[in-house]
Structure 1
Amino acid sequence: MKSLYISILFLLIAKFCVAQQAVLDKEKLLEFYQSQRYGEAAAYLSSIYPAETSDVKVLGQIAYCNMMAGKLVDAERNYQKINELQPKQIPVLFSLANINSRRGNNKNATVYLQEVITLDSTNFNAFKRLADYTDSLILKVQYLQKANKLNATEAEVAYDLAASYRKLKLLKPAYDVLKIAIAADSGHLVLQQALLPIANQLNKYSEVVTVGEKLLKNGADANVLADVAKAYFFLKNYKRAITLYQMLEKTEMQTESTLYYTSLCFRELKNYDQAASYAKQTITEGISPNTAAYYNLLGSIYEEKQQFTAASNAYKKGLTYQINKNSYYRLGLLYDLKLKQGKSALTYYNLYLKNKDLDKDDEPQVEYIKGRISELKR
């Protein structure tokens, strides 16, 4: 009988301890939340409630705090436990998707979002997020189309869908998507800027000028300048086009394309000297500074294949883009040692020695070439 009383006493003490442990200081927790000390909030909640708790509300609080504190491993474990206890809860699935995305695991994030759209085929946010997680352009478009159908005025989806359509060269659908979103928010400058290159490609030059000039009042963005200048070119307002293109030059934002159209503008105005000058700049802009190096690489490959004439042509082609000491050196060696043409070898050896870019690292080659020149002159 005595042992029974002792057992009952122990049970009462245990219940009392649990009851004491579960007393939550709401003001303290609120202070953690208001000061955004989510890590401390999670630790506090975990100290109050037992680790094996199956209270979904408690687990949700701890999971949220861990997620906000950046403790993603703990947050995922908490949300997974909730998902096991109460599966098919859309907020939980979204949280799991978000955590996996932040940890770089888009594959798992996609799985959770697929569960969401299975539960709710009209969930705009799920389709929007799925589009972010796929590398497939076709699949991205499909998700964005569904999101856009659910909310055609949401700017981010409209922008992304239009950009994806443009990649697929579906210009009219891209234009239409942007126009609907802009109609809902006429002050959205990002959408208007995205519209300009598409409208240009659709030959809507007057619209580009109207929209673009308004955008330029908010700042001379390089892309807007280029788009508006191009529209002016096709509207045959060459002077205005030149003014805008030269604004790009002042900020060193010119491109091969903008220089090309500047040259065309001057040609149409019969200013042939300027047209020729810009044509030359266009050619220079269109050539990679590494082109000569690429031809040297090609020449060395031909040499390895014993295709010496092709190698010589590749090295010489590189020199048409840029004077390069390495090209002279390789040509000298090629004509000297492989093609046995001493006169040509001397020409390229001498050009190498006259190169202004020679430095201390080139001294071994310089000494070798001087020796070879002496041998060839005998």
Structure 2
Amino acid sequence: MVAALFAQQKSSLDKEKLFDFYQNQKYAEAAKYLTSIYGEDINDAKILIQIGYCYLMSGNNVEAEKFYTKAYAQQPQNLPILFSLGNINWKRGNADKAKLYYGEIIKIDSNNFTVYKLLADILTTKDSLRSVYLIKANKLNPTEADVAYDLADLYANLQKHAIAYKTLQIAIAADTGNIVLKKAILPIANFLKKYNEVILEGEKILQVNQDAAVIKDVAKAYYFTKDYEKAIAKFKILETLAMQNEATLYYTSLSYRALKNYQAAVIYTKKTIEEGISDNTSNYYALLGLVYEESEKLSLANSAYKKGLEFKAEPNIYYRLALLYDLKYKEVKQASKYYNLYLKSKPNPIKDKDEIKYVKSRMEELKILD
């Protein structure tokens, strides 16, 4: 760019001053300096590109786009200009305009790896064209890690695990130190029953990086090779990291069962059940009960509230049941029971102070009635 700049320079251009701007990364000042030399009415594409580049490097995308657009009018098939305009619009959130500029590049150079990669990055996973661009980019450069990773992930989601595995294998062979790719291939290898490979490569990764996803993949591989003790050891590491989930607890339970440690199997089966239930399930049933109650479907409201209690003893549900039995059913004993359970469930003394006050007062009234 500098060489091009000096080829276009005017007699008043101070080379040393411009070099100083570049060396000190004062791109905004360089852009203003060039504009002061050449003026605003510039028709030379090379100079427009130079000024646009300076603004781009300074982070001023608005001015950069203005100069690149003028250059584009002069040279509409100039790839650097098209790339710059595409990148500027992508940064500014104008994805549709970016796609148009990148599309122009494809028309000029249908084998340009970079533009296919950029187009794939712009598109969402739901867009069918994304897979087209990833496949094309990977075909042009099968060893490029980012594209291989994204394409393998796409194949895996489509249940094409063998192709996903091969895609990652090629990229890993070209970059044997790429941990990201090696982590990505583990769950795919597990699916393809390459358990020994998962254990071998996964343990190497774990020597330098205790990644939870890798621990899970290695633990599953141990389970499927019937090395249950090692599987349990790995799954328990996830618990110490608070990274366990329904699946890891389930496999832990299965491992204990295989070892005939039924007591531990029961414990982990219960943990699996608890993990599989949302913390908000009881609240959802409370809401359902309230909706039923407000629409005068009292028996359904009663059932919904009690179902919510099966998941978690929420003070709010006890309160709603107490009111239901008290004000709707007029059943004093049942109302007193749920009012009492409400107080025992330790409602928030600040947030629920009005409800607590009402419950205590109402319980005294019910004693008199009883």
TM-score class, shorter-chain normalisation, is over 0.9
Does the 8 A contact of 2:309 with 2:317 survive in 1?
yes
Residue 26 (structure 1) aligns with: 15
Distance 1:375 1:150 in 2: 82
Does the 8 A contact of 1:137 with 1:164 survive in 2?
no
After TM superposition, the structure 1 = structure 2 runs for residues 173-322 of structure 1, keeping only pairs within 5 Å, are 173-322=163-312
User: CA shift at 1:375, angstroms?
Assistant: 4.4
Distance 1:30 1:177 in 2: 45
Q: CA-atom RMSD, angstroms?
A: 1.7
Task: Find 2:108's aligned residue among 107, 119, 123.
Answer: 119
Distance 1:304 1:356 in 2: 26
| 1:66 and 2:49 correspond | no
Percent of pairs identical after alignment?
Answer: 53
Measured at CA, do residues 262 and 36 of structure 1 come closer, stay the same or move farther in structure 2, by a change above 3 Å? same
Residue 362 (structure 2) aligns with: 372
Does the 8 A contact of 1:22 with 1:48 survive in 2?
no
Residue 26 (structure 2) aligns with: 37
Distance 1:22 1:325 in 2: 83
Residue 342 (structure 1) aligns with: 332
Does the 8 A contact of 1:245 with 1:258 survive in 2?
yes
Letter of the structure 2 residue corresponding to residue 356 of structure 1: K
| 1:333 and 2:323 correspond | yes
Superimposed CA distance per residue, residues 168-187 of structure 1 (whole angstroms, 9 cap, x where no aligned partner): 22222211111111122222
Structure 1 stretches lacking a partner, 5+ long: 1-19
Residue 341 (structure 2) aligns with: 351
Letter of the structure 2 residue corresponding to residue 318 of structure 1: G
User: CA shift at 1:355, angstroms?
Assistant: 2.6
Distance 1:243 1:322 in 2: 31
Does the 8 A contact of 1:248 with 1:254 survive in 2?
yes
Distance 2:132 2:50 in 1: 35
* Greater shift in the superposed pair: 167-176 or 338-347: 338-347
Distance 2:314 2:233 in 1: 37
Superimposed CA distance per residue, residues 345-374 of structure 1 (whole angstroms, 9 cap, x where no aligned partner): 221112112232340343322333344334
Question: Normalising by structure 1, what TM-score?
Answer: 0.91
Structure 2 stretches lacking a partner, 5+ long: 1-8
Does the 8 A contact of 1:245 with 1:254 survive in 2?
yes
Distance 2:142 2:310 in 1: 53
Residue 170 (structure 1) aligns with: 160
Distance 2:17 2:240 in 1: 59
Letter of the structure 2 residue corresponding to residue 337 of structure 1: L
Does the 8 A contact of 2:53 with 2:64 survive in 1?
yes
Residue 54 (structure 1) aligns with: 43
Distance 1:63 1:281 in 2: 60
Does the 8 A contact of 2:71 with 2:81 survive in 1?
yes
Task: Find 1:130's aligned residue among 119, 123, 137.
Answer: 119
| 1:93 and 2:82 correspond | yes
Task: Report the number of matched residues.
Answer: 359
Distance 1:354 1:211 in 2: 53
Distance 1:59 1:82 in 2: 6
Distance 1:363 1:248 in 2: 40
Greater radius of gyration (CA): 1
Measured at CA, do residues 281 and 158 of structure 1 come closer, stay the same or move farther in structure 2, by a change above 3 Å? same
Does the 8 A contact of 1:88 with 1:119 survive in 2?
yes
Distance 2:363 2:346 in 1: 19
User: CA shift at 1:242, angstroms?
Assistant: 1.3
Q: Secondary structure of 1:118's partner? A: helix
* Greater shift in the superposed pair: 36-45 or 246-255: 246-255
Distance 2:353 2:33 in 1: 71
Distance 2:271 2:11 in 1: 76
Distance 1:321 1:176 in 2: 45
Distance 1:360 1:48 in 2: 70
Distance 2:144 2:180 in 1: 13
Distance 1:360 1:288 in 2: 26
Measured at CA, do residues 31 and 237 of structure 1 come closer, stay the same or move farther in structure 2, by a change above 3 Å? same
Q: Secondary structure of 2:346's partner? A: coil
* Greater shift in the superposed pair: 264-273 or 224-233: 264-273
Does the 8 A contact of 2:349 with 2:356 survive in 1?
no
